[in-house]
Amino acid sequence: MGKGALGYLLVSDGEALIIDPPRDLSAFAAAVEEADAQIVAVADTHCHADYLSGGPGLSRLTGAPYHLHPADSSYPYDGTPGRLRFDALEDGAELTVGRATVKVQHTPGHTEGSVTYVVDDQAAFTGDFVFIASVGRPDLTGKTEEWTGILWNSLERTRKRWPADLTIYPAHYASDEERSSDRSVGAPFGALLRTNEALRIADAGTFREWVRERTGTFPDAYRKIKAVNVGLVTVDELEAEALEVGKNECALA
């Protein structure tokens, strides 16, 4: 909770998909057991920078496939290929979880391989692409100008594509103001089009300026966390805890 990080468990007809799991899987394990479900897939929306993904480890533990967009399987600072075992999911791919159909939409900008998982056209797990009150920052790898344009194009596509009643579930929240009355973090896309400042911007030039005004430095630990998450570096539990200290800084604020 100190990082404002969110992961998700989708259960349908005894099958479970876990999205964006953290290192500590105890809450997910308890929920899966309570639901009397079997984990059939594990998926990250993108290669995280602020926390160590529990996805690859959970995949090894359960035998369920670990899914990631291939553009996020290498180290983004110099392009070194990662050493992950994963099942690639690209735009248009589908996962079946019980009676649910999970469609993959490539929504790059925060990272090159960021995806959104859309479940039965009712819920969208957006990762660090769209938050309740902001969008994911495009400056974490030193390619701010290029990735700002990519992020703008992703936002434009979703504004045309997503229905107003599609519920958005992001991978982070910044404050209690982003929580609903039941403490969940999610809102209809139509509501975000009215309240999310980034989504209200009408042209690319204004958006670029908005991004410039909000970008800045980020924790040095993010570079190493990325390396761990693509399988290039291993760390022990003590170092893992040290790397994850501090709130997430993945949103433009």
Beta strands in 70-200 (DSSP E): 87-88, 94-97, 100-106, 115-119, 123-127, 167-170, 187-188
Mean pLDDT along residues 40-57:
97
Query: Does residue 71 carry a pLDDT above 90?
Result: yes
pLDDT number for residue 1:
72
pLDDT of amino acid 247: 86
Which amino acid, residue 56? Answer: P
Give me the residue spans of the domains in the chain. Answer: 8-238
Q: What is the mean pLDDT of residues 176-182?
A: 84
Q: pLDDT at residue 158 above 80?
A: yes
> What band does 30 get if pLDDT is binned at 50, 70 and 90?
very high
Tell me what the pLDDT averaged over the chain comes to: 96
Contact 21, 45 (CB under 8 A): no
Whether the per-residue pLDDT at 177 is higher than 90: the answer is no
The per-residue pLDDT for 196 is: 97
Instruction: Indicate the residue type of 198.
Output: A
Other Cβ atoms less than 10 A from the Cβ of 79: the count is 7
DSSP tag of 34: H
CATH topology of domain 8-238: Metallo-beta-lactamase; Chain A (3.60.15)
pTM: 0.96
Nearest-angstrom CA–CA distance, 141 and 150: 14
- Between strands 87-88 and 66-68, the pairing is parallel
Cβ neighbours of 110 (radius 10 Å): 30
* Averaged pLDDT, 81-100: 97
pLDDT at 123: 98
In this prediction, residue 7 has a pLDDT band, given cuts at 50, 70 and 90, of very high
- Give the Cα separation of 241 and 1 in Å (integer): 14
Contact 169, 123 (CB under 8 A): yes
Which pLDDT does position 2 carry in this prediction?
77
> Strand ranges (DSSP E) for 23-177?
38-43, 66-68, 87-88, 94-97, 100-106, 115-119, 123-127, 167-170
- For 125, the enclosing helix (H) or strand (E) is strand 123-127
Q: Which of 165, 168, 176 is nearest to 136 (CA)?
A: 168
**Percent of the residues in the chain that have a pLDDT greater than 90, as a whole number:** 91
Q: Which amino acid is at 101?
A: T
pLDDT digits (tens, 9 = 90+) for 209-233: 999 999 989 999 999 999 999 999 9
Strand 38-43 versus strand 15-19 pairing type: parallel
